[in-house]
Amino acid sequence: MKVAIIHYWLVGMRGGEKVLEALCEMYPEADIYTHVYVPEMVSETIRKHRVVSTFINRLPRAPRMYKTYLPLMPLALEQLDLRDYDLILSSESGPAKGIIAPPHALHVCYCHTPMRYIWNMFHDYRAGAGSLARLAMPSLAHYLRLWDVASAARVDSFVANSATVADRIRRYYGLAANVIHPPVDTAAFAPCPSSELGDYYLMAGELVSYKRPDLAVRAFNELKLKLVVIGGGEMLSEIRRLAGPTVSVLGPQPFEALKHHYARCRALIFPGEEDFGMVPVEAMASGRPVLAFGRGGATETVANDVTGLFFDEQTVDAISNSIARFERMTFEPEAIVAHAQQFGREPFIRKMRSHIDLLLAQRARSRQQRMETISMGSTLN
């Protein structure tokens, strides 16, 4: 069986690329197709595969300005020649699922989310865009929505990374999706001895507006409690300006530093609404509780009052109140770690393989039944 994996772009290692790594482990001989490929920015696991890029990769400054070429990506996908493949796995967050699969192939889409910038977060992205982009976005987004819905019909089976994303697939495409949570490398994290716990809270991840890091910083400025912020992103300079004397903004850090802070923080602060959110699972795999906004993927990973707490509003007061409540509670690191294990790499691979094998078996049975029907018709004639 020849396998192709379609991934939107390969310019760094984030959650989507961790899923891609697991798919590469499942299908070590698979070819990878993507719009933009920067080999030095991805893992050796991905680089071991044959990687084919679309014409987007040859456009000016594509490694940095790839999102500028979003309107051309449907055309680029439809030019890919996939006639030789039996199984096609698309990894969708940007445009990836819109390939034209051959009739005999099974096309399974693992959907991190329908494109945020044309669907659920269109107005947020438009508000933060420049004047020319704000003017162009409505018509471009309309065209992309039409293509996005039409291309959803080319998928044989959708797999969503969370129930939150499955709801979006139903709303925007009118299609059902199985839910298989993405693989988190929970084995890479471990609790530290209680004697090594620090006196600080932690916020980790990309510093972008929809994750609302500003709310956490403002809350800790007011509370005068220690907060460590790890991560880069477009809001890094703003967060540094906003940080008071009790807030330490470390910027991007190597994995070992992140792992150290996960295990020793009092709790992780997670003020954004994510599709799934690997950061809370990594913190829980380190034995630490999570204080999260009670919407999105966090509601599927954090067990309220067992592995963390939810706050109901994205406000400074709501975060402050959850911290005050947390300070009066006790959490068991062993229970938190045990809860996190269900989101590990092995459960993901087992569930994905089972789902794909079932679809392939159903397809083979259907083909066999058609052949028998044709044979019976020929005999009767």
Is 70 exceeded by the pLDDT of residue 223?
Answer: yes
| 354 and 212 inside one domain | no
> Residue 118 to residues 46, 93, 95, 110, 235: CA-CA distances in angstroms?
28, 11, 11, 19, 22
Q: What percent of the chain has pLDDT over 90?
A: 88
From CA 30, how far away is CA 87, in angstroms rounded? 9
Sheet with 247-251: strands ordered across = 247-251, 227-230, 201-204, 268-270, 290-293, 308-311
What CATH number does residue 174 fall under? 3.40.50.2000
The pLDDT score that the predictor gives to residue 127 is 86
Q: Is the pTM of this model over 0.85?
A: yes
Q: In terms of domains, do 167 and 291 share one?
A: no
Lowest mean pLDDT among 120-129, 237-246, 342-351: 120-129
Task: Kindly state whether residues 172 and 272 are assigned to the same domain.
Answer: no
Is residue 378 very low, low, confident or very high in pLDDT (cuts 50, 70, 90)? low
Q: Is 141 in the same domain as 206?
A: no
Task: Looking at the structure, tell me whether residues 178 and 190 fall in a common domain.
Answer: no
In terms of domains, do 190 and 313 share one?
yes
Q: How many domains does the chain have?
A: 2
More confident residue, 26 or 129: 26
CA 263 – CA 73 distance, rounded (Å): 41
Structure tokens at 353: 């393989």
Range of the domain at 289: 186-342
Residues 323-375 have pLDDT tens digits of 999 999 999 999 999 999 999 999 999 999 999 999 999 998 988 888 877 77
**Same domain? 13 vs 130:** yes
Q: Cβ neighbours of residue 20 under 8 Å, at least 6 residues apart?
A: 5, 7, 10, 32, 46, 91
pLDDT value of residue 130 = 86
pLDDT in tens, 20-51: 999 999 999 999 999 999 999 999 999 999 99
Give the pLDDT mean for 210-225. 96
Q: Are residues 7 and 155 in the same domain?
A: yes
